[in-house]
Amino acid sequence: MINIFDKKDKILVVGIGGGGDAVSAAMIAYALRRAGFKTGIAAVAWERFVYDPIPGPIKLEELVKPVEKHNYYAIINSETRARRGGKYIEFQAVNVSKALKENIVILDLWRGVRGLVRGLKEVIQNEGYTRVVGVDVGGDVLAEGNEENLWSPLADSICLAALKHLPNSLLIVHSPGSDGELEQEYVLKRISMVAARKGYLGAYGMTREDAKILERILEYAKSEASMIGLLAFKGFYGYKPIRLGTRKVLVNPIHTISFIMKADIVYYFSRPAQLVDNTQSLEKANRELNRHCIYTEYNLEKDLIKHGLVDRNNYNYNDILEIRKRGKENLYKMMSDQSSDI
């Protein structure tokens, strides 16, 4: 991993999928620091609905006690919270900050790809970064879009499209298959496709130091996907249910590996990223995916609200699976009806 970067680089490592991706992004940022690079940690603040039932990512104006707030990004610490739906949310980037005792950059998805690009450029200019590295835990950022077991394409596609607009940006897929979405074998196949176009730069395996950092962060932050890598490093092998039992992961040593790729080559294979590119709002990006029958995490969160499931104690995994199934069916029917009217 060291040879991929210039020693003069100051690297912003961004957890691109929301929620717990900030955890593994921080682990990778610390690995780069041990190699002699200056790094900062950034995240998209979009919590899983079990922690934050309000649909969509956290808005910058919802942040309480940020260290700094700029036009397109903010800087937070362990004291920051988000006020959503009348409640205070302690989101995962705050917990990462608490574990590491350092500030974290928060990026805004609500203004689409264009807004995210502006935010990243603002951070680069104001904080002196020379390169941006996106980190996706699990690898669903590599999806074509219509895979049956793809649950959360919206945040990933917006972030990947934004990375494509930044020179020399990289994408790291950490712990393939650990989020219980795309099968590990399928993720590895997609990485091979990127490699065939000379977009694969190498891999990095977790060390004892990485495991210690990850374990320290996970004492504060909640991330089932990032926990999979730690379990694998400690020698666990076998199936692990995650996401309220809606998915399960076969934990194995591959989950300790990070695959490093050129973001623009990954973008070449990503239909979702191409569909949302140049959008100016999250709503518009979501509609673009919906138009191509891609059901998103934002759709699911709104459907859960529609069915009155705002409290994790009021539903089980069968409820979630059924609502997701009906939501996808309704989307397909709506798109089919619209195409037949043309």
At residue 342, the pLDDT reads 53
* 273 within 8 A of 289, measured Cβ to Cβ: no
**Among 15, 38, 30, 172, residue whose Cα is nearest residue 101:** 30
Residues 297 and 283 in one domain: no
Q: Is the same domain home to 118 and 235?
A: yes
- CA dist 210 and 230 (Å) reads 9
Last residue of a domain, one of 290, 307, 330: 290
Q: How many CA atoms within 13 Å lie on the side-chain side of 314?
A: 9
Q: What angle do CA 204, 2, 141 make, to 5 degrees?
A: 45
Task: Compute the mean pLDDT over every residue in the chain, rounded to the nearest whole number.
Answer: 94
At 212 the pLDDT is 98
CA 200 – CA 3 distance, rounded (Å): 13
Element (H, E) at 201: strand 200-205
Tokens found for residue 162: 């934004």
Looking at the structure, tell me whether residues 276 and 308 fall in a common domain. Answer: no
Task: Check: CB of residue 7 under 8 Å from CB of residue 36.
Answer: yes
The residue from 270, 290, 310 where one domain ends is: 290
Give the pairing type, strands 87-89 and 81-84.
Answer: antiparallel
Domain boundary pick from 248, 273, 290: 290
Below-70 pLDDT ranges, the chain: 1-2, 310-315, 339-342
| Cα 176 from Cα 191, distance rounded (Å) | 10
Residues 149 and 298 in one domain: no
Q: Which two tokens stand for residue 207?
A: 């060390």
Q: Any residues with CB less than 8 A from the CB of 61 and at least 6 apart, and which?
A: none
Which residues form the domain of 322? 292-341
Q: Are residues 204 and 335 in the same domain?
A: no
Residue 318 and residue 207 share a domain: no
Distance CA 222, CA 189 (A): 29
Tokens 């362990």 locate to 78
Instruction: Kindly state whether residues 305 and 216 are assigned to the same domain.
Output: no
Q: Are residues 154 and 211 in the same domain?
A: yes
User: What gap in Å lies between CA 262 and CA 161, rounded to an integer?
Assistant: 12
Q: Which residues make Cβ contacts (< 8 Å) with residue 285, sequence separation at least 6? A: 112, 113, 154, 157, 158, 276, 279
Residues 6 or more apart whose Cβ sits within 8 Å of residue 338: none
What is the spatial distance between Cα 124 and Cα 141, in angstroms, rounded to a whole number? 23
Number of domains in the chain: 2
Residue type, 254: I
- 50 and 119, same domain (yes or no): yes
297 and 251 fall within a common domain: no
Gap between the Cα atoms of 256 and 226, Å rounded:
10
Co-location of 230 and 319 in the same domain? no
- Given this model, what pLDDT does residue 247 score? 80
Predicted confidence (pLDDT) per residue in 281-325, tens digit: 999 999 999 999 999 999 999 999 998 776 655 667 788 889 999
Number of C-beta neighbours around residue 30 at 10 A: 21
Provide the pLDDT for residue 16.
97
**Strand 238-242 to 247-251 pairing:** antiparallel
Looking at the fold, whether 94 and 44 belong to one and the same domain comes out as: yes
